[in-house]
Amino acid sequence: MSRVIWLVLDSLGIGAAPDAADWGDEGADTFGHIAAACAAAPRGPLRLPNLSRLGLPQAHAAAQGRMAEGFADLPLPEGLWGHACERAAGKDTPSGHWETAGVIVSQPFGHFENAANSFPPQLLQALIEEAGLPGVLGNCHASGTEILKRLGEQHLETGCPIVYTSADSVFQIAAHEHRFGLERLYAVCEIARRLLAPFNIARVIARPFVGGSADDFKRTGNRRDYSLPPPAPTLLDAVVENGNEVIAIGKISDIFAARGISRSVHAHGHDALFDATLLAMDDARNGSMIATNFVDFDSVYGHRRDVFGYARALEAFDVRLWRLRRRLRRNDLLVLSADHGCDPTFPGSDHTRECIPVLASGPTIVPRPISRRDSFADIGQSMASHLGLPALAEGHSFLSRISETPA
């Protein structure tokens, strides 16, 4: 019997999607622009031997019609490689993950579009009253690091949490982990989640931080996402209903509102996420699905427009990938994908509407290109097929009944 290991390289887009202009993202290319910046810098080209063996540069070339700078004369990938375009009405974390798992969001999430005074006064007043707050700070579009420098000290003085949003469908609440209290922050977020029901906001995010002044404020690993639940059953639900286990590592459980999750493992930082994934692979029984989100690509590097930090994180991920591949059992399927783009060279600090890589490999997988997939849901349908599950409502499997050895 088979297992699936699904790794989400959060925000690793591989070039503007066909409809990118509709989202203001024409010309975005997270992977391609990082590769170009590295090739032009003294540090030299991106070094990704393991991701290259799985077909990442080749998938980018198929999506963009050209090989990324610094990559040439590559051998045939050791698995299936291609790219997928999102059908969902969004470019955010929930819609990307849900579509991959077989549920396509047809109506866009709500957004708070005003850059200043972003939230309705009645919403903030209800939050203040129900949570017993002295008030709130922020009420604007902002990046998480910038707003801490600007308002963190005032938060310590007043006890008012910082509320902010972005172009994404989010309501974020930042508060000091010790002075305000972590559990109190979570409780405030739960109240906000309920109050936001009429606005169809995808996520409320708790953003705890530590430090004593603007010079040393730092967000901690105790972030928590309060997502809307998927509007229909996902691949994760199907795995559990079939009597098998879904092991969710990192923020996967939060993204799916804990639905279809057998066991949730919280870890902070890519090394810890990798360690947790390797441990899960040692323990997971046949029929299981392990799903890990590598969030730092997005939150630490993409949104902060740190091109070379993103590059270093990719190279560090690549170094550890070989160890994970060595742990694969005969009938395991390893799938690498993303959920959207977040081009660190692009104007602004928001997600970008991009194609994503689709890389699938395993001991029984015969290498071949799978070309362009017209929905992320093809990934979930393929994982369902590999696990012997009934077909999902959306998507077309790219696994060949002829080429691949039956699980």
115 domain-assigned: no
**Domain stops at, among 227, 244, 273:** 227
The verdict on 68 and 206 lying in the same domain is no
The verdict on 160 and 211 lying in the same domain is yes
The verdict on 26 and 42 lying in the same domain is yes
The verdict on 286 and 370 lying in the same domain is yes
Please give the Cα distance from 309 to 28 (Å, whole number): 18
Residue 75, domain extent? 3-106+229-386
Give the N- to C-terminal CA distance of the chain in Å, as an integer.
Answer: 6
80 domain-assigned: yes
25 domain-assigned: yes
The verdict on 62 and 206 lying in the same domain is no
324 domain-assigned: yes
Which pLDDT does position 46 carry in this prediction? 98
Whether the CB-CB separation of 389 and 382 falls below 8 Å is answered with no
399 domain-assigned: no
**Domain stops at, among 194, 227, 260:** 227
The verdict on 179 and 251 lying in the same domain is no
The verdict on 242 and 355 lying in the same domain is yes
The verdict on 212 and 234 lying in the same domain is no
CATH number for the domain spanning 138: value is 3.30.70.1250
Please give the Cα distance from 67 to 59 (Å, whole number): 9
113 domain-assigned: no
Query: What is the SS3 assignment for 267?
Result: coil
Whether the CB-CB separation of 380 and 101 falls below 8 Å is answered with yes
**Domain stops at, among 169, 202, 227:** 227
Query: What DSSP element (H or E) covers 139?
Result: strand 137-141
Which pLDDT does position 3 carry in this prediction? 98
Which pLDDT does position 407 carry in this prediction? 39
The verdict on 165 and 247 lying in the same domain is no
The verdict on 132 and 268 lying in the same domain is no
pTM over 0.95: no
Which pLDDT does position 1 carry in this prediction? 65
125 domain-assigned: yes
CATH number for the domain spanning 300: value is 3.40.720.10
339 domain-assigned: yes
The verdict on 172 and 280 lying in the same domain is no
Q: Can you give the pLDDT of all 407 residues of the chain as single tens digits?
A: 699 999 999 999 999 999 999 999 999 999 999 999 999 999 999 999 999 999 999 999 999 999 999 999 898 999 999 999 999 999 999 999 999 999 999 989 999 999 999 999 999 999 999 999 999 999 999 988 899 999 999 999 999 999 999 888 999 999 999 999 999 999 999 999 999 999 999 999 999 999 999 999 999 989 999 999 999 999 999 999 999 999 999 999 999 999 999 999 999 999 999 999 999 999 999 999 999 999 999 999 999 999 999 999 999 999 999 999 999 999 999 999 999 999 999 998 889 999 999 999 999 999 999 999 999 999 999 999 999 999 999 999 999 743 454 43
Strand order in the sheet with 263-265: 263-265, 246-249, 289-294, 3-9, 332-337, 356-361, 80-84, 368-373
Give the number of domains in the chain: 2
The verdict on 261 and 332 lying in the same domain is yes
